[in-house]
Structure formats: C-alpha cells, structure tokens
Structure 1
Amino acid sequence: MLPPPHPALHVPDTKVALSTASVYPSTTETAFELAARLGYDGVEVMVWNDPVSQDVDALRRLSDAYGVPILAVHAPCLLITQRVWGSDPWTKLVRARRAAERLGADTVVVHPPFRWQRQYAKEFVAGVNRMAGETDVRFAVENMYPWRYRDREVLAYAPGWDVTDEEYRHFTVDLSHAATSRTDAFELVDRMGDRLAHVHLADGSGSGKDEHLIPGRGKQPCAQLLERLARTGFQGHVVLEVNTRKSGGAEEREADLAEALAFTRLHLATVRPGS
C-alpha cells in the first residue's frame, strides 16, 4: 500500500491509464496484466487485429479478472486496422461507442479521416458531433501530423491533421504527434481549451517519426503539461501510449512502463497553495 501524500502536496483525482497499444506486439491481455501489476488506474483499449480487443465480452472478462477498469476505447482507425469491424468508418465509430457504453468507458478516441476516405471526411465533423450528442460517451478527436518522406510532406488527413481548426466537442492531445508535426504543445492545448478531454502521454524528439517515447526521454514538455493539468483541475484521463517494441524483453518493457507511470504520478502532484 502506498503511503498517504504529504500534506503540502495536492494529488488530483486524474486517472492514469495504460494503452493496450503500449505492449504491441504482445496481446491485449498482457496490457491488463501489466496495468494491474504496476498499479495503473485502468486501461485504454486499442481496437486492432488482436481478436480479444474486438470482443466486448472478452474485454469485460479481462477487466474483471485483473481488477482493472476500461476507461477509454480507441476506435480502429489506423492503417493496419482498416478491415477491423468492417470497412465502413461510421460502423466502426458506432461499434466503438457501444463497446464503451457496455464496458463503462467514458471516452472514444478517434482520428480524423484519411484524405482518400472522401465521403467520410466530408461528413466527419458534423457526423462525429451528432454522434456525441446521442451518448454520454465523449468522442475525443486526436491531433495528428503530416506524413514526411525526405523533403516531401504529405497531408494524409482530412479535414486536416490539426484538429483545432474544426469545431469538435472534445479533443485528445497526443504529445508524440505534437512532436512529429512540430507543433508547440502548449499552444495546441491552449487552442483546445476546455474541450481537451483526454491525454495521450508520450515523448518525441521532433524527428519527423511518430516515436511515442517514454515520457522524459524526448523533447516534449511532458512534465510541464502534467503540472499544468494538475493546477487547472483537468477532469479527463492521462493515458500512457508509448512504444516498447525496442525494449530488450519482457522485464525491460515492464521497467519502462513502471518508469512511465512513476513519471506521470510525480508530475501530477503539485504544491498546495499557501504551503
């Protein structure tokens, strides 16, 4: 059992969750096991090619078995998940919402459409806002980035990768994506304002690759953002969505995820006014 916090510290109620993507290419169950063992407050389920991630009943069993709540569902909108839950993008969002409702999650994370999804992109802003009005689950649209190859830049998302250009009800900020797009993270959060509902915490060096480094290992203001969230009474969840594929094995991956959790909890603790 952890000792109580020092009276001079304010520790907010913000829940810190582990994305199941953080253990890729291991299984969804591995993420639940690690989240339970390391003391995460919950998980965000990335719906992808692992059949368990697509099965609401299987996910509920894992949540119950490990005592780890599911706080968010990430809809299958990656390139590698184009055929997960069918090929119609609206069907994917409907199924993600239903999964979140059945699992007790309060957030669905969604990416803006790819440019080649023309009709979906044309209807996306109005459609996702309409769906958000039909449920208590928040559809939190995530900031993305331009794709780069050598000296070329490809705008792969529509209406655009900078989601603050549109009137979405809720946003997810991803600091690795901010690094890749070379966007100032604090300016991005300022533009999101009180519509910021969800945080994907990961670091990046600004190399042009979407790195998802352990917080503190790149150049993003991960610590400063966490401290700001704590001071301003942020009501959403902070989700560690990091890349552990280069970890040297299961033990090193677990150590990396423990480090990420410790970093996050440390910087969410702030000094009480007047202390």
Structure 2
Amino acid sequence: MTERPLLGAAMSTRDLAGLQDFILSENRDLELQDFIEAAVLNGDWKPLADEARRLLAGHKGRLGIHGPFWGLNIATPDPDVRAIVTRRMLQGLEVCEYLGATQMVIHSPYTTWDFNNLDNFPDRAAYARVLENCHAAMAEPVRRAAEIGVTMVVENIEDKDPDIRRILADSFDTPAMAVSLDTGHAHYAHGSTGAPTVDYYVRRAGNRLEHVHLQDADGHADRHWCIGEGTIRWRQLFRALGELSSSPRLILELRDKSEILRSVAYLRDLGLAR
C-alpha cells in the first residue's frame, strides 16, 4: 500500500447523487449498496444500475457492490435453502457484470457459537463440514465470478478467529475468493467476545485482504460511526495495512453518509490516508 492511501466509500445510488464530486474528482473506490435486498434482485434492477452508471460516467476508480446477505448463510446445510443462497449470489454477480464492478462483498458464515463449539468434534470434522457446505452453495457463484473478473470478498460478521475467513477463501483455490475486514465488526468481537484487536485481523489475513470496511465503534455494538468517534486505534490499524502489497479497497461504511467527508479529514489530519 502507498503511504497515504486513497479512501473510498460505500453508499447507495441515491447517496451517490450528493457525493458524486467526492468520488469522481479523485477516482475513489466505490461500493454500491443498493443490491442487497431480495426484492431489488428479483425485480427490475437495471434502471437503478443505469442511474448509477450515469452518475459514474468517466469514473476510473475500482467499483464494487455489497452482495445480498439478509437471511442468507453460505454454509447452510439445508439443500433447499442452499439453492436460494446460490441463486442470490448469482443475481449479485449479474449486477456486477452489468455495472462493470470487479468486487462483491459477501458475509462470513462463522459465528461466536462456532468459535466455542467447532472443536467439540474429533479430527476437525465440524470445520470440514462448514467448508463442505460453503463449497456446495458457492461453487457455481465462484466459477461465475472467475469468468467475469469479479472477486468475492468474505467479510467478518461475528468472526472471533481472525484466520478462519482466510482459510475459507483459500479453500476455493482461486483469486475469485478473497478476504474482507470490517473494522467495527472486529472491534465489536474484540470488546465483547475477547477476539484479537483489529490490527491483528489485518496481519492474519495478510495479502489475501482485498477489501476493508472502515467504521468506528466502541467495542460493544456495530456502530458505523464517523471515524474518530469510537475507540479503534487507527494509527495501529493503518500501520498494519501499510505492511500489505495487496492494495485492499479502503471503503468508508458509515451509517450517516454526511460524515464521510469528516472521516476523510480526520484520517488525513492524522497523516494516515487521503
């Protein structure tokens, strides 16, 4: 990574209309978050995608989307539910292909319960079962992602083990699967479940880390606060990011999109990003 990496942001197309200059003026990375709902993916989403393309005319930054996740577990053992998971992921990839997006965020299947219970079974059988279920649901989407040049990045949700998503991504043996880190989720896991600190998640992912959701939090809940309002150690986090050569997309994912510019200013004033 460069010494002062360029920050991107996550937002809806509606938000993009008001932040168009912020994204286009420096060709910042963008993650569109309109396409997470089943109702959108099952409906006529192309007019929405066309509006995003209109607003992004001339954009040369990296474009991604947040894939569907509500009610979906990519490690579900139920074959009927698995068919829905596979279908939703393929729908998300269809959006990526239409938009020219090269990355899609998906959610980790691992829970806090898993951390405390997967070792209940001999020969790591429970770990293997999760991977088998993931491959059953995701084999077709992973093949399709590789065909259209999209990388699916697995975001930590409840993950207490900072290695486990890298192991999952590596099990597919393709650049079409990589690792995402959400700083607020990791900080929640550290503060509430005894997980390592956020910078450890970066180092344990190493160059398999290709996407980061930047949000501040207090270690108690998933806050998505403006950077600087919580208790994440940003200098330590960016020090770890600076050790990578994978150039992960650094995406501000804030609940209040009006705080994006203030978050950029905060990290710029610290000399960490721009």
Q: TM-score range by the shorter chain?
A: 0.5 to 0.7
Q: Distance in 1 between matches of 2:186 and 2:94?
A: 29
Matched residue type, 2:133: E
Task: Specify which of 1, 6, 14 is matched with residue 30 of structure 1.
Answer: 14
Q: Which has the higher helix share?
A: 2
Q: Give 3-state SS (helix, strand or coil) of 1:268's partner.
A: coil
In structure 2, the residue matched to 1:91 is 87
Matched residue type, 1:75: G
**TM-score, length of structure 1 as denominator length:** 0.67
In structure 2, the residue matched to 1:268 is 273
**Cα RMSD for the two superposed structures:** 3.8
Counterparts in 2 of 1:10-21, with a 5 A limit?
A: 11-12=4-5, 14=6, 16-20=7-11
Superposed displacement of residue 94, structure 1: 1.1
Task: Specify which of 221, 245, 252 is matched with residue 240 of structure 1.
Answer: 252
Q: Distance in 1 between matches of 2:143 and 2:265?
A: 38
Q: Distance in 1 between matches of 2:38 and 2:91?
A: 16
Unpaired segments ≥5 residues, structure 2: 73-82, 112-128, 171-176, 191-195
Q: Distance in 1 between matches of 2:273 and 2:228?
A: 14
Q: Give 3-state SS (helix, strand or coil) of 2:272's partner.
A: helix
Work out the percentage of aligned pairs sharing the same amino acid.
20
Q: Distance in 2 between matches of 1:237 and 1:167?
A: 17
Matched residue type, 1:175: T
Q: Distance in 2 between matches of 1:201 and 1:228?
A: 14
Q: Distance in 2 between matches of 1:167 and 1:65?
A: 33
Task: Specify which of 226, 232, 235 is matched with residue 238 of structure 2.
Answer: 226
Task: Specify which of 52, 67, 72 is matched with residue 75 of structure 1.
Answer: 67
Q: Distance in 2 between matches of 1:143 and 1:77?
A: 12
Superposed displacement of residue 166, structure 1: 2.8
Counterparts in 2 of 1:1-275, with a 5 A limit?
A: 11-12=4-5, 14=6, 16-20=7-11, 28-39=12-23, 41-46=28-33, 47-49=35-37, 55-65=45-55, 67=57, 69=59, 71-79=63-71, 88-113=84-109, 122-125=132-135, 127=139, 129-145=142-158, 162-168=164-170, 169-182=177-190, 183-207=196-220, 209-230=221-242, 232-244=244-256, 254=258, 256-265=259-268, 266-268=271-273
Q: Distance in 1 between matches of 2:242 and 2:205?
A: 17
Superposed displacement of residue 38, structure 1: 3.6
- Flag the 1:134–1:29 CA change in 2: closer, same or farther, 3 A: closer
Superposed displacement of residue 185, structure 1: 1.1
**TM-score, length of structure 2 as denominator length:** 0.67
Q: Is the 8 A contact 1:145 1:161 kept in 2?
A: no
Superposed displacement of residue 106, structure 1: 1.3
Q: How many residues align?
A: 226
Matched residue type, 1:238: L
Q: Distance in 1 between matches of 2:229 and 2:235?
A: 11
Superposed displacement of residue 34, structure 1: 2.8
Q: Is the 8 A contact 1:175 1:202 kept in 2?
A: yes
Q: Distance in 1 between matches of 2:157 and 2:235?
A: 21
- Flag the 1:161–1:176 CA change in 2: closer, same or farther, 3 A: farther
Superposed displacement of residue 113, structure 1: 3.7
Superposed displacement of residue 238, structure 1: 1.0
